[in-house]
């Protein structure tokens, strides 16, 4: 007698799953054999863990100091101070990354961040309210734009083209998870040590940045590009306007990279509103006023669940890639975001909120992996640095716009049914625009294919 489901048809799902796991395992083994990819993984993990610790220290200073009241306008002001200059730094970063040795950017940028973070720790120890901390924070985070843009541009130089999507599913996500772990550690240390520990948290990030600089020194000179001859800094500055305009025209003519960047910017806008609402809800709605650190604990739980969603994206996205194109996977992720946001619009009960944070983390990171892959795959190397600089500008400008809209639309408690229903509708509109966008890149005469 044959048991139900034990025949050929019953074994097909198991066989398909085993085959997919085998393919993913083979790709991972192939990637791991690349010493330069392993070094890039290490650089991402160490450097972005430092980013998370540093930003957690700043968040504690700006948003979770017990003696300061927190309003939507106050959160918006903090975001504007921290992110505003990034939209100006991004274009300069792109032009220079297409001319400077990217290895040098990674080394010097990481070491500069280390010095700025250590100096910021000394300033916080002397006077946490000093305007100098804002200047140092802005400078350090602006330098970080060069480093992160370089990390996005160099990945295709460390892996073979067929493994690019799998590498995109792992490399940036490991960085994101590392940043999340660093942020949770930083927030936990800040909450545990209180005011006395604030300078320690900020300065601790400097040690991680120093380690990242040492890791980056191990890349062979010239490996990470750019391929074009390196021009002088003066020539790069003169070429700023022309270079960015040319890159923007190229991306639009190429079609798919511009469409992917649009999806990224719109989803970043939605996520910015949710992030702002999470801070306000943690501080003013979900925490116990009698416990000074309860708001920080609630926000830490939300960050942890979001990080779990990011981690799931690392596993699910490569499996999905075996049957789905990046475009179709973005469609699935946006559909998941619509469903999760609709559930959050019904209630802010903590179990639903934390589950929604995890699902939105999975959806947003899965979308980001696919968007990164499309931009890298469909953009020629001579434009790739500027493409990721424009990516950077859109990424931060969308978050600043989210802060402005949040200040106008969100209540002090961070939650309203109308606002969250509006966010669900906004995700649905992003999905519709994505489905209407071009699906294939257009060949550009005179420009070599992406490599």
- pLDDT, tens digit, 9 for 90 and up, residues 74-123: 777 777 767 776 666 666 666 677 777 889 999 999 999 999 999 988 88
For 46, half-sphere exposure in the C-beta direction (CA atoms, 13 angstrom radius) is: 23
**Dist CA 367 CA 63 (whole Å):** 28
Residue 396, both tokens: 């931060």
- What is the predicted pLDDT for the residue at 148? 87
DSSP state of 228: S
pLDDT score of 4 more than 50: no
Q: Give the residue extent of every domain in the chain.
A: 30-218+253-436
To the question of domain 30-218+253-436 being in CATH 1.20.1250.20, the answer is: yes
Q: Is the pLDDT of residue 65 over 60?
A: yes
Contact status, residue 282 vs residue 295, Cβ threshold 8 Å: yes
For tokens 């599913």, the residue is 169
Q: Is the peptide bond before 257 cis (omega within 30 degrees of 0)?
A: no
Angstrom CA distances, 17 to 11, 21, 257, 319, stand at 10, 6, 31, 9
Q: Quick one: average pLDDT of 279-298?
A: 74
CB under 8 Å to 26, separation ≥6 — which residues?
A: none
Structural contact between residues 56 and 183, judged by C-beta atoms closer than 8 angstroms: yes
User: How confident is the model over 329-369, as pLDDT tens digits?
Assistant: 999 999 999 999 999 999 989 899 999 999 999 999 899 88
Q: Extract the tokens encoding 422.
A: 């509006």
> Does residue 432 surpass a pLDDT of 80?
yes
Q: What is the rounded radius of gyration, in angstroms, for the C-alpha atoms of the chain?
A: 22
pLDDT digits (tens, 9 = 90+) for 193-203: 766 777 888 88
What is each CA distance from 370 to 328, 330, 335, in whole angstroms? 9, 7, 15
pTM (2 d.p.): 0.69
Q: Looking at the predicted structure, is the pLDDT value of residue 290 above 70?
A: no
Three-class SS state of 315:
helix
- Tokens coding 445: 């005469």
CA-based torsion, 242, 244, 247, 253: positive or negative: negative
Whether the predicted pLDDT of 240 surpasses 80: no
pLDDT tens for 137-180 read 888 888 888 898 888 888 888 888 777 777 877 888 888 889 98
* 90 vs 212, more confident: 212
Of 63-67, 241-245, 318-322, 431-435, the one with minimum mean pLDDT is 63-67
The distance from CA 245 to its chain's CA centroid, rounded to whole angstroms, is 25
Measured CA to CA in angstroms, residue 169 lies from 159, 163, 392, 396 at distances of 13, 10, 19, 22
């Amino acid at each position: 007698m044959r048991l139900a489901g034990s025949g050929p048809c019953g074994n097909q799902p198991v066989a398909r799953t085993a085959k997919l796991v085998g393919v993913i395992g083979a790709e991972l083994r192939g990637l791991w054999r690349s010493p330069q990819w392993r070094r890039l993984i290490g650089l991402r993990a160490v450097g972005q863990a430092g980013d998370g610790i540093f930003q957690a220290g700043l968040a504690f200073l700006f948003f979770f100091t017990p003696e300061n009241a927190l309003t939507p306008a106050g959160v918006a002001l903090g975001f504007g101070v921290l992110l505003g200059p990034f939209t100006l730094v991004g274009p300069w970063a792109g032009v220079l990354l297409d001319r400077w040795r990217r290895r040098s950017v990674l080394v010097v940028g990481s070491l500069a961040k280390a010095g700025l973070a250590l100096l910021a720790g000394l300033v916080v120890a002397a006077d946490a309210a000093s305007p100098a901390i804002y200047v140092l924070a802005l400078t350090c985070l602006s330098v970080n734009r060069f480093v992160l843009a370089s990390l996005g541009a160099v990945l295709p130089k460390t892996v073979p083209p067929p493994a690019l999507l799998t590498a995109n599913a792992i490399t940036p996500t490991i960085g994101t998870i590392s940043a999340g772990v660093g942020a949770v550690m930083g927030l936990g240390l800040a909450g545990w040590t209180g005011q006395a520990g604030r300078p320690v948290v900020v300065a601790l990030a400097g040690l991680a940045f120093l380690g990242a600089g040492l890791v980056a020194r191990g890349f062979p000179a010239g490996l990470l590009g750019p391929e074009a001859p390196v021009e002088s800094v003066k020539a790069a500055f003169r070429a700023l306007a022309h270079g960015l305009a040319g890159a923007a025209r190229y991306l639009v003519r190429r079609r798919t990279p511009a469409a992917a960047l649009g999806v990224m910017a719109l989803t970043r806008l939605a996520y910015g509103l949710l992030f702002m609402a999470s801070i306000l809800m943690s501080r003013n709605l979900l925490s116990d006023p009698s416990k000074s650190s309860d708001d920080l604990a609630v926000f830490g739980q939300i960050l942890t669940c979001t990080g779990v969603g990011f981690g799931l994206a690392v596993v699910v996205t490569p499996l999905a890639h075996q049957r789905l194109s990046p475009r179709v996977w973005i469609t699935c992720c946006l559909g998941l975001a619509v469903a999760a946001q609709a559930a959050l619009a019904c209630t802010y009960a903590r179990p639903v909120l934390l589950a929604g944070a995890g699902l939105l983390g999975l959806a947003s990171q899965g979308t980001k992996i696919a968007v990164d892959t499309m931009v890298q795959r469909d953009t020629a190397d001579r434009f790739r640095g500027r493409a990721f600089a424009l990516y950077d500008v859109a990424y931060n400008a969308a978050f600043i716009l989210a802060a402005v809209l949040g200040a106008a639309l969100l209540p002090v408690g961070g939650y309203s049914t109308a606002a969250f229903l509006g966010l669900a509708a906004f995700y649905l509109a992003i999905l519709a625009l994505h489905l209407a966008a071009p699906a294939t890149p257009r060949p550009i005469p005179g420009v070599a294919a992406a490599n």
